[in-house]
Amino acid sequence: MRQSVSFSSLLSGPKAPLAGPLRDLPAEVPVLPYDGVAELWVDKPEDIFELLQSPVYEQRVIPDEEKFLDRSKTVMLLTTEHNVIG
């Protein structure tokens, strides 16, 4: 399996870069109740399932995640990127 994977994260909380701007939003603007978001980018949609079941993910990533997040409350959103030219 040859695949490329990209990772990025955005954290919230009192010291996070967006903490001030999010706090200053009008009350009617909905904000999801998450402390952070992580993105995994893969070449093909099916690669994410292979990645999540890989020995490296199970042996290294999951134990690390358990140090800072509640995996039972983790939500996954799968999307596909489309380039739009207009």
Q: Mind listing the pLDDT tens digit of every residue in the chain (86 residues)?
A: 455 666 666 655 555 555 566 667 777 877 677 777 788 888 888 888 998 999 999 999 999 988 888 889 888 888 888 888 86
Secondary structure (DSSP) of 23-47: HTS-TTS-----SEEEEEEESSHHH
Domain-by-domain residue ranges, the chain? 5-73
DSSP element (H, E) containing 10: strand 5-11
**Which helix (DSSP H) or strand (DSSP E) does residue 3 occupy?**
none
CA angle (44 as vertex; 6, 63 as ends), nearest 5: 50
Measured at the alpha carbon of residue 41, what is the angle toward residues 83 and 74, in degrees to the nearest 5? 120
**What pLDDT sits at residue 58?**
94
pLDDT score recorded for residue 1: 47
Return the pLDDT at 25: 72
pLDDT of residue 54: 93
